[in-house]
Structure 1
């Protein structure tokens, strides 16, 4: 049973583009958390015994339903988090594709046999872990939830989902839609902020806590799980570096840097957070990057411009601007942006900074906003060394014409994903393990099925004949 009592005051959600109230939710307390987990436990045995093909069929049907309402989900997402509609629609469609992927992979997930004595059989058999608590973020609320929930369901687990308190309506709409294709209790949804997540994470009957979000929340979840024995999967965000090597086309590199820094307002788990640019191309790169930044506007209005939505709320804008203002006070230079605009909403301009030192907070911590902090370095080796000198370990990007440098970089960078000559992209089904402060465990891909299951080794020998006197 859970004992901590959270603040049960209603949570108000405002459209970050207009400041208008778009909804209100009541956070779940101990009784609601106990009820949801209890229902998941009660449904567990029957769902685990359901054939993998039937589980996959339910998830595949849910995927089709999600695809059918993708536009509705995108509008909800846009109104709650400010994510530009086209990006939000892409996230909803990606969620449908992710559910379809796990519907295909689930029945193929299998164990293996071991070679032992002729008369014995040895098997390593995966099975569901039990109740999965899926705690998901606001910056891509539908696609992230689809990954964790889809992998958990097709492997026979039941799920209690807590979407972010900053995107509760789109989170609940998605989860309720998926749950409508499942037996009662297999997937339930809880509203609430950190206190509700803490109750869920510390619940004795939860077997897996899968979380995508902040470092602080990830640490709290890990501490709670240490007391219950639950398995923990964490993606805690990162401080992803981009290295711009000498010899690259500076205009092309600037386009890559802008995309990595400004997409979704810089509110992507693998956004570019710090840039190390070789002095040989720095002047041209900074000029091109400043020009690129001017194309990212609050609302697209002309050919060649790109949508830069608001930050998720004013609290996040205050966090972003605090990093920028501190850097400017420390001697950094703003080539573009760097000031809080007037008017409604939580908008912040696409910003380019240079003149940074390694000790500045904007270099050392995740800013999570539309800011491209550029540090000019004298050599590729210096840029790589400074990129590596960081406790986070989510992702990194290297732009270089030198494949020896690319090889050196991907081996040296202590992160889950290294991208060479592209800030985004990757084959379907990819998975990686974050390191350091960025978390632990595989997210997405076939490997996530392994994380959601426990392997049991079974040794079977024939019973000897009964001795009869």
Structure 2
């Protein structure tokens, strides 16, 4: 079974479930993935509207750049508090447009508020460096805003991701034109309506559309920095466009994250970790667990516990629907391909009856690297498992992948942990926890997963450029 184009672009900002390339004056119609009922239609921003948004951002840049950093931080704080006041409305739209659990969606809004507040404090503290030069001179490196920032954001954690990029860009003095995913245009429009009044005219604008509108935006010669969070194929298209304009590019794109389960860990604990990594938000997370390598010594116990975890989640109805039916078709096509190639379905793997785009939590055993379920990002609630004879084999197999976002290792052996950290070619390695980490963490994706720091204090470096200054002493008349 296949889908159109064997969609390898699972969390793309071009929504095949509505209109991937809506024309000027058209609208994007969204249906609720829970039951297929209409949510509404949002007008697409015409090409002239995109050009004007960029032009207004360009005109607003000199004054916003000259605004004292403390005042920019104060504006971010006001915007953050306004966002918090609309938590319920934003969470409800997220639930209705993308299917995400309401409480998880509300948590995303709270994370967005916290992120804006963090950048309100961090951005004014962003500093350059002094250099050791001659005693009678001053040498320094100063950080300056790049200019107009074009931000293209995804649907799977839309408020938190958008707030991070917006906060970092505005905090250091850039102006922003934001294109949210067309899979959640109502939410993206509301986010803009909440944030924009707290900044001078033209400093931040929202445009609505699909891949065509996104390419118009990032390809504008007046854009100085582009940040894209979304699928690899969309990110690679953007990279080709930006290569011609010279804008600085930040990409946090798809992943095919591995989970390695060593022989010396509790198999039930490991299964619980795998379930969280594979099934949270129905697997629609960039750093979701996509490939599992389990040591043969505990494979049977691990698979039994993981199957129990998956069946329980499906029976309790806590697996949220996928964002749309096309996404569900892609996930099911990956499962069907694996089964045809020799994988076994231990639970799930069947299309539910009725309206909406739900898919059960699914566990596959006997998987192999040649299967699409292992070689492509599935972006659904599927735990695909391969049994290995040793830890070194697991690390070597996990390392053979085009993506480089993150990986997780479950082991009680410190030497094994060090080996995995050194050998896995990814931006983030997590040991004994599939999610988590210290506040302010950031990472550089590798391979087809992108480039540049997309989060944390380092994002402020990406949003600025460095000018080296040598200030010498003049010889007076």
TM-score interval for Structure 1 and Structure 2 normalised by the shorter chain: over 0.9
RMSD of Structure 2 on Structure 1 (CA):
1.2
C-alpha separation between the residues in 1 aligned to 2:209 and 2:256?
Answer: 27
2:447 is aligned to: 436
C-alpha separation between the residues in 1 aligned to 2:282 and 2:91?
Answer: 16
Mapping for residues 27-426 of structure 1, pairs under 5 Å: 27-297=44-314, 300=317, 307-426=318-437
Change (3 A) 1:440 1:14: same
C-alpha separation between the residues in 1 aligned to 2:23 and 2:153?
Answer: 19
- Whether the aligned pair in 2 keeps the contact of 1:298 and 1:310 (CA below 8 Å) is no
C-alpha separation between the residues in 1 aligned to 2:140 and 2:193?
Answer: 37
Structure 2 SS opposite 1:173 = helix
C-alpha separation between the residues in 1 aligned to 2:401 and 2:385?
Answer: 16
C-alpha separation between the residues in 1 aligned to 2:126 and 2:49?
Answer: 33
C-alpha separation between the residues in 2 aligned to 1:162 and 1:410?
Answer: 36
Q: CA deviation at 1:121?
A: 1.1
C-alpha separation between the residues in 2 aligned to 1:202 and 1:282?
Answer: 49
C-alpha separation between the residues in 2 aligned to 1:356 and 1:5?
Answer: 39
- Unmatched runs of 5 consecutive residues or more in structure 2: 1-20
Change (3 A) 1:5 1:78: closer
Q: CA deviation at 1:27?
A: 2.0
TM-score by length of 1: 0.96
Q: CA deviation at 1:298?
A: 7.5
- Whether the aligned pair in 2 keeps the contact of 1:208 and 1:230 (CA below 8 Å) is yes
Q: CA deviation at 1:28?
A: 2.1
Change (3 A) 1:236 1:429: same
2:14 is aligned to: none
- Whether the aligned pair in 2 keeps the contact of 1:5 and 1:29 (CA below 8 Å) is no
Q: Give CA deviations for 1:4-27 in whole Å, capped at 9, x if unaligned.
A: 995653211111001011011222
C-alpha separation between the residues in 2 aligned to 1:75 and 1:5?
Answer: 25
2:461 pairs with 1:447: no
C-alpha separation between the residues in 2 aligned to 1:192 and 1:8?
Answer: 10
C-alpha separation between the residues in 1 aligned to 2:329 and 2:351?
Answer: 9
C-alpha separation between the residues in 1 aligned to 2:197 and 2:329?
Answer: 39
**What stretches of structure 1 move > 6 A for 4+ residues in a row?**
none
Change (3 A) 1:347 1:79: same
Structure 1 SS opposite 2:198 = coil
- Unmatched runs of 5 consecutive residues or more in structure 1: 301-306
C-alpha separation between the residues in 2 aligned to 1:241 and 1:226?
Answer: 31
Q: Give CA deviations for 1:290-327 in whole Å, capped at 9, x if unaligned.
A: 00001213865xxxxxx211000001001100100011
Structure 2 SS opposite 1:295 = helix
2:39 is aligned to: 22
Structure 1 SS opposite 2:407 = strand
Structure 2 SS opposite 1:459 = strand
Structure 2 SS opposite 1:273 = strand
Give the count of matched residue pairs.
457
C-alpha separation between the residues in 2 aligned to 1:166 and 1:289?
Answer: 31
2:470 pairs with 1:459: yes
TM-score by length of 2: 0.94
Q: Give CA deviations for 1:246-304 in whole Å, capped at 9, x if unaligned.
A: 0110000000000000000000010000100000000000000000001213865xxxx
Structure 2 SS opposite 1:297 = helix
1:304 is aligned to: none
